[in-house]
């Protein structure tokens, strides 16, 4: 089983880079809500134990690690809205959120480790992409946790504004109860209209 480590950061530091940001996003697949990215600059002397892909952690463990990350690391969050997802597509919106997260750090990083296999357009700093990085690289693992917690909070808030869709538990993903709510309650402004189940609801014959 893969366990995230600091080897990618060590290689970057050996090349002279000091402010190394891990970047990950969450929310590509949901039918509703923004896509959210986090950039995290870890202190190599204060790395929380047990960092891993946020999807592999229990909610309790994820929340604990998120609190530890906030105590010892520098973080920044970037979002891309539903309108932006519809305008430029989900992949480019995910990359836009990543760029915004990096740009939001209090001081610019000099190197970025990004989950996936594509460098976001417009990113003007040395970068390495890491496929499956949230399960391999502790900085990206930390970013995956922070992004997940942040987006979940957004969806909990939206769930209070639009009860009945189950966003407080499905976080906007296309669960059976969410699909049923779409059919019964209709489409909200926070739904992604280009995504198939929502599109079918709007344009069914």
Show binding-site residues for a divalent metal cation.
24-25, 115
Task: Give the burial class of 6: count Cβ atoms within 10 A of its Cβ; 0-12 exposed, 13-18 middle, 19 or more buried.
Answer: middle
Residue pair 73/41 in contact by the 8 Å Cβ criterion: yes
Residue pair 170/177 in contact by the 8 Å Cβ criterion: yes
Distances (CA, A) of 10 to 20, 36, 52, 77: 10, 27, 18, 24
Work out the end-to-end distance of the chain between its first and last CA atoms, rounded to an integer number of angstroms. 48
Quote the distance between the C-alpha of residue 95 and its chain's center: 10
Give the other-Cβ count within 10 Å of 193's Cβ.
Answer: 16
């Amino acid at each position: 089983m893969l366990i995230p480590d600091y080897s990618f950061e060590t290689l970057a530091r050996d090349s002279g880079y000091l402010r190394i940001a891990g970047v990950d996003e969450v929310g590509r697949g949901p039918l509703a809500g923004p896509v959210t990215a986090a950039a995290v600059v870890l202190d190599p002397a204060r790395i929380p134990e047990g960092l891993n892909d946020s999807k592999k952690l229990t909610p309790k463990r994820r929340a604990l690690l998120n609190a530890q990350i906030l105590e010892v690391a520098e973080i920044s969050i970037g979002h891309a809205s539903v309108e932006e997802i519809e305008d430029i597509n989900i992949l480019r919106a995910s990359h836009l959120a990543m760029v915004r997260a990096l740009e939001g750090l209090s001081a610019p990083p000099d190197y970025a480790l990004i989950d996936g296999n594509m460098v976001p357009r417009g990113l003007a700093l040395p970068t390495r992409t890491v496929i499956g990085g949230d399960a391999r690289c502790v900085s990206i693992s930390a970013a995956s946790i922070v992004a997940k917690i942040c987006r979940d909070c957004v969806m909990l808030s939206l769930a209070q504004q639009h009860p009945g869709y189950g966003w407080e538990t499905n976080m906007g993903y296309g669960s059976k109860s969410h699909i049923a709510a779409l059919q019964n309650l209709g489409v909200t402004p926070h739904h992604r209209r280009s995504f198939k189940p929502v599109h079918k609801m709007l344009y069914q014959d």
